Amino acid sequence: MIASADRITEFRRLHESGCFVMPNPWDVGSARALAGMGFKALATTSAGFAWSIGQPDNTVDLETTLEHLRVMAAAVDVPLNADFQGGYATASDEVAVHVGWAVRTGVAGLSIEDYSGDPAEPLLGLDLAVDRVRAARAAIDESGTGVVLTARSEGFVWGLPDLDETVRRLAAYAQAGADCLYAPFLTSIDQAAEIVAAVAPKPVNLLINSPFATVAQAAAVGVRRISVGGQLAKTAWRGFLAAAHEIADDGTFSQLAGLPDLNALLEPR
């Protein structure tokens, strides 16, 4: 197993130039499969993990998440970024404590988002959101790990697709010490390009949650990092549900033809 420090160094190097895809496994098997395909880094997905343990997204507690991060980081040799949601706290000092725990799990990066937990008022006030990023930065610096801090703004996720406000927030998070900036659920390359320009030279993560862009198109506008969130988990669930519904509704088994050899795929190399 490659040491955590070496994986953090590699993760930082990946953010320096070019554009890399960081897909999102939800368990050890999917992580090892993706690492075996040659992806240079991986990222956890809070949604995919929650579904795998029979819960909706945003309902998994801190201790369960920390254990998941330990298991996932130990399963692969490539850098692992943690979807750390809102830091599992609202107050900045509590976010700092929790980030301090997370960086000891073996992850190479983690993200902190500005979702409030209240769909009626989904974004935290900007001053508090900035303080939380600053607190996460201080906790990472105090740990001496060099873990990459990504700051996320969630307006597009929660029905507030205001690009100007998103840019304002991400620029403030960059000033507060975020290493990478991220606004999930953008719908166009032009939106991504505007964010890239606003926070330059800090790198930007782009979520591809629908086929609105290619890796080449994202790279062309300066996106440094691409993730897919819970979408790979959803594709796995789609296949499972289609096969199960066919069995339950029709009594036929056509979906069971041509299945992959998972033993061969996951055999240690």
128-138 pLDDT, tens digit each: 999 999 999 99
Tally of CB atoms within 10 A around 260: 8
Whether the per-residue pLDDT at 239 is higher than 80: the answer is: yes
Residue that has been written with the tokens 């629908």 in this structure: 210
- pTM here is 0.96
88-98 pLDDT, tens digit each: 999 999 999 99
| pLDDT class of 3 with cuts at 50, 70, 90 | confident
Whether the per-residue pLDDT at 124 is higher than 90: the answer is: yes
What CATH architecture is 4-232? Alpha-Beta Barrel (3.20)
The ranges assigned to domains in the chain are 4-232
Whether the per-residue pLDDT at 269 is higher than 80: the answer is: no
Q: By the 8 A CB rule, do 116 and 108 touch?
A: no
Q: Beta-strand (E) ranges in the chain?
A: 20-21, 42-43, 80-83, 109-113, 148-152, 180-182, 204-207, 225-227
pLDDT computed for residue 171 by the predictor? 98
25-69 pLDDT, tens digit each: 999 999 999 999 999 999 999 999 999 999 999 999 999 999 999
Any residues with CB less than 8 A from the CB of 93 and at least 6 apart, and which? Answer: 135
The dihedral through the CA atoms of 61, 105, 102, 224 has a sign that is negative
| pLDDT class of 80 with cuts at 50, 70, 90 | very high
